Chains A and B, each alone.
Chain A
Amino acid sequence: MFENVIDGIFSAVFVAAILRVTTPILLPSLGALISEKAGVLNIGLEGMMLSAAFTGVVVSAYSQDWFGFETGVAIGPWLGLLLGVCVSLLLAFVLALFHLDLKGDLFLSGIALNIFGSSATVAIMYELTGDRGNTSTLASLQMPFIQLPEFFREIPLIGGFFFDVFDNQSMMTWVAFIAVFIVAFVLYRTPFGMHLRAVGENPEAAASVGINVKRIRYFALLISGFFAGLGGIHISMGYLQLFQRDMTNGRGFIALVTPSLGGGTPVGTMIASSIFGFFDALGIRIGSLEIPSQLPQSIPYFATVLALVIYALQRRISQRVSEMRTASGAGFDAAFWGSIQRISILHMLLMMVAVIGVVTSGAILSAPNGFGGADTAVPAGLLIGAASIILFLIGLPFVRDIFSIQRNWKASALVTILSLGIYLTLFLTLFFEPLLALGIALVLSALVWYMIGGRVLMRGD
């Protein structure tokens, strides 16, 4: 069973699935990135996505009535795309109007738009179809899929894998990933992008050099509405051909975090979105195991919280190191402190795994019937919980203070190698005998520790 899942994860099909589920996160994330760069984070992405998704479905379905079947099928998706994005832009305009001109609170106006998007789509759907769950009675259309030319398959070594991943992906997936680079170009290589970043960083300063802050922010919100619209269209017309109530399922909110996880850059945002895509796809994969589906379903959300924590901790550590660099001037040993920093990040990641372990054991203990009955689940849950708590506690001192790594690097090394070793052992037992797995895992962990910075610490001693 586990082997199937593991095999599945390393297949081209799985990578293709990641791209597919990343698209509806990536598109609104780009919107969130641009609005955040201009200092007006668009909270209303969810509502805009829903409105666009719904409009696209309705327009593409009715275009067959309006223009006849043949023409309707040909232009329906494009008309749906156009009008869906227009509706999203309209909502973005309303948000901009209420925030920038009528001085409404950005956060609350955004929430209002989310409520509006969720309710108006359902109300109109009920009027049109008599159903308030989905639009399955409407014959809506799909955005085209892009087939790769066969010769890509002929490329040696990677050709087959490459072909399997990229062939037959929705047009919107290509749009999303290409848009990353367009956004990067606009943000960093055009005057508009420079003004936009200036407005976000310091509106007063930007205004003082003659930039029209309000106009830039209007544009930023409209662009974010544009991307939210594309994302919405992908959700209802990319792989599905229907609209379900609240089908964005929180993606508009996930999109609010990805820019900050990605370090505020378009490419970073893409990577952060892909991580969510990975967890999403993994959740679908793990669904085939006999554990409650709610556990994998909550992984992306829990991962977001952990990612927020890691991001905050990491930022704090870099800050402390850079403070030290300023303080000590020329005597600063950059290589040494760089190693410390990397090891502390490793400590944090291991702590997070321990937290996941605690949560998993909590889940197992609260619903043992979902994990094969109380007789096996309770001891297993207790074991996982106890081990995780111990690993958490021994790692805690090193996360709280990076100087403790410097002072006590041997203990830190022991903790890292032990924790990493245990997690790796769990993974390797899928392929090897338990004892052999433990041996390999410990060697690998020691190697990891040595590579990312241990050698510098050892030398320094």
Chain B
Amino acid sequence: MTDTRKEAPDQPLSGAPLLRKHLLLIVGGAAGLIVTLFVMNTLFDGSLEKMTGTTDWRNILLVNALVGACIFLFVVELRRGAIRVLLTVIVALLLGFLVTFVFNLDAADRFARGEFRVQVVSDAEPTANDDVDLRFNRVRGGDFNKPNVVEPLSEVAWTFAGADGDLVSLLAYAKNRRSEVDLLVELRDDAGTVLAAATSATETQVEEKFDDLVSVKDAVIEGYELPADGVYTLYAKPEEIATGTVLSEALSQSQLAFEALLLGPIERVNRWGVWIQDAITLILLGMSFAIVFRAQQFSLGAEGQLYFGALVSGIIALNSPHVPGVILIPFIILASGTAGFVYGLIPGALKAYLGANELVSTLMLNVVATRFFEMVLNFQLKPPDAGYVASAKFTENAVLPVIVDKTQVTVAVFLLVVVVFLSWLLIRRTPLGYEIRIIGSNLRFANYGGVNSRRTIMLVMAIGGIVAGLAGMHLANGIHRQLILNISFALAFEGVVVALLARLNVLVVPFTGLLYAYLRAGAQFMERDANVSFEVVRMIQAIIILLITAEALVTFFQARQKRADIDETGHTVESLEGADG
């Protein structure tokens, strides 16, 4: 088992100077510390009183310290590979920005769309002419450009009668604060000659003189003296949009969107909670994939295992309202893990003993599990009077205890630490883990070396199932606190990205899980704050996978540091030779 020491992070590489090892630790530690401090600083606006005034601030600090630790592990484990992961994420984010920009090219459209009104304000007496349809001081035009009209209204014209010497002000303004329409107003006489025109309003007009105005983008002709008795036309329309405006609007909208994406999750404690709770699920799923992929088994069964874990823990939770939580919670954890184990064992056995393609069988079993979950939920667990398909809320004793107030950050954090530690122990420090790695490197070699590859393949898929089952338990008993349809929301496939970004290294999975959950949480706030579709982030995800697997893209980069990264993936010839000896 000599190679296990070789892969351990704290061992200097052969020939590497001692300083470099320490440098790595220092760099990793500094990065972790900086991120922890940065997150705490942003969360509490840099105010120490605000921090100590928040309930559970010690737990927040603890969780953020763990985040820092994840970053430390990431740097120390991947070494220069960390730079590649970061570069990939940055490139994918830039491409995502480009996509957002293209989608926002119609952002300037909102200046042409939006409800608006027109009004003629005057102290003069209205004339007796009833044929014209706009009286002084009467608001008109509220129906222009309803929020979802397809074609923006090009122009409106209203006529009014006025007497010589009347002082009139012509207003065209957005109907409400949501409407951002940019208007132009003209006064025309009977013959259609433009007497006066305006495209904007001043601050004083908006603030003091005219109550109805919404912003300076509204148009006002103030205090115009009518030259003669007669019928005049108030002509108003949204202003033409210049190409420059279109581009700058698209850019500023995209910037707004990316600001929400990149800083949104650490703005407030409740948003931070969304990030952390999502990260816990993702890390568990990523861990499941990392373990299974490590043996070169392309099993995508985590989704089905998650559903089974959630179902089993949900059923236990619903049926034991009087058992104290101290006993119930560990039991639920055990049961959900077992459920995942069993459902992972099936494709594992099919692959190991019958040679059934694990990719196909797991995908099919996922659907079977989902349908089974739906059926039990719909016909057995749903309370008869429930309006939608969901189980009853779990009782307090079956819900994972919350450690940060106003969030759903639960004791699952500690469970996660244990899972990460055990996974590391399994992969790096046990005979089974050794066999998993050997099979992953070279199945033929493993068989030749006397590894019972069938048993190992079956076990590795089942062990991946345990972790995925725990993820289901976390979703059911930690986040939703009841069983709902689509409880996973296709999270499992996101777990694939987490595992890949971590290069199947179980110690790096926590970092990549946090990173990816951060993007996902950011995407929610981006959708809420900037109206950019959540799916853009999934496109970024696809780009990340493509870039991270394309080895040839980085050959030029890797060639220089081949020696340094030689055991980074655990797949290389050298580590095998070490194992042999």
Residues of A participating in the B interface, judged by any CB pair closer than 8 Å: 43, 94, 98, 101-105, 107-109, 111-113, 115-116, 118-120, 122-123, 126-127, 130, 132, 250, 253, 256-257, 260, 292, 294-295, 297-298, 301-302, 304-305, 308-309, 311-313, 315-316, 363, 366-370
Contact = CB atoms under 8 A, between A and B. Distances in A.
Given A108-B545, A370-B379, A98 B357 contact: no
Contact of A122 (B354, B376, B533): B533
Given A112-B545, A305-B364, A305-B368, 9 more contacts: A98-B549, A98-B550, A105-B549, A111-B493, A115-B493, A250-B367, A295-B375, A315-B355, A367-B378
A104 B555 CA distance: 12
B406 to A, nearest CB: 29
B539 A120 contact: yes
A315 to B, nearest CB: 8
Contact of B354 (A43, A312, A368): A312
Contacts of B375: 292, 294-295, 363, 366-367, 370
Contact of B535 (A98, A107, A120, A311): A120
Contacts of B365: 301, 305
Contacts, number: 150
A277 to B, nearest CB: 16
B415 to A, nearest CB: 27
Contacts of A308: 350, 354, 356-357, 360-361
A312 B356 contact: yes
A297 to B, nearest CB: 6
Contacts of B99: 123
Which 3 A/B pairs are nearest by Cβ-Cβ distance? A370-B379, A119-B538, A116-B542
A363 B550 CA distance: 44
A111 B500 CA distance: 12
Given A115-B538, A366-B380, A370-B379, A309 B354 contact: yes
Secondary structure class of chain B's binding surface, majority of residues: helix
Nearest to A306: B364
A253 B300 CA distance: 12
B477 interface: no
Contact of B546 (A109, A257, A298, A369): A109
Contact of B533 (A113, A123, A309): A123
Select the residue from B103, B360, B551 with max chain A CB neighbours within 10 A.
B360
A298 B366 CA distance: 10
A87 B286 CA distance: 31
A294 B371 CA distance: 5
Contact of A127 (B103, B360, B371, B553): B103
Contacts of B379: 292, 367, 369-370
B360 A123 contact: no
Contact of B359 (A104, A256, A309, A368): A256
Interface string B296-334: 001000000000000000000000000000000000000
Given A126-B533, A292-B375, A308-B360, A108 B367 contact: no
Contact of A301 (B357, B364, B539, B545): B364
Interface in B380-433: 380
Contact of A126 (B361, B378, B535): B535
B380 A368 contact: yes
B193 interface: no
Contact of A104 (B103, B350, B550): B550
Contact of A103 (B350, B368, B538, B551): B551
Select the residue from B380, B543, B545 with max chain A CB neighbours within 10 A.
B545
Contact of B103 (A98, A123, A298, A309): A123
B284 to A, nearest CB: 19
Contact of A109 (B371, B541, B549): B549
A108 B148 contact: no
Contacts of A103: 550-552
Secondary structure class of chain A's binding surface, majority of residues: helix
A94 B535 CA distance: 20
B33 interface: no
Given A116-B542, A292-B379, A257 B357 contact: yes
Given A115-B541, A298-B368, A104 B551 contact: yes
A308 B368 CA distance: 15
Interface in B478-517: 493, 496, 500
Contact of B380 (A107, A298, A367): A367
B368 A302 contact: yes
B197 interface: no
Contact of B542 (A102, A115, A260, A363): A115
B372 interface: yes
Contacts of B380: 366-370
A297 B368 CA distance: 9
Given A127-B533, A297-B371, A119 B542 contact: yes
A304 B549 contact: no
A408 B240 CA distance: 90
Contacts of B538: 115-116, 118-119, 123
Contacts of B357: 257, 260, 308
A302 B347 CA distance: 12
Interface in B536-571: 536, 538-539, 541-543, 545-546, 549-553
B108 to A, nearest CB: 15
Given A113-B542, A119-B542, A294 B374 contact: yes
A225 to B, nearest CB: 16
Contacts of B364: 253, 301-302, 304-305
B552 A101 contact: yes
A268 to B, nearest CB: 16
A309 B365 CA distance: 13
9 contacts: A107-B359, A108-B500, A115-B541, A123-B533, A123-B539, A260-B357, A295-B375, A305-B365, A308-B361
Contacts of A302: 364, 368
A310 B359 CA distance: 17
Contacts of B550: 98, 102-104, 109
Nearest to A245: B535
Select the residue from B148, B350, B354 with max chain A CB neighbours within 10 A.
B354
Nearest to A374: B380
Nearest to A126: B533
B546 A98 contact: yes
A111 B545 contact: yes
A318 to B, nearest CB: 13
B570 to A, nearest CB: 16
Contacts of B545: 108-109, 111-112, 115
B443 interface: no
A135 to B, nearest CB: 15
B359 A292 contact: no
A366 B496 contact: no
B363 interface: yes
Interface string B21-37: 00000000000000000
A115 B546 CA distance: 11
A115 B549 CA distance: 15
Contacts of B371: 294-295, 297-298, 301
B549 A257 contact: no
A105 B354 CA distance: 25
B558 to A, nearest CB: 12
Nearest to A123: B535
A301 B367 contact: yes
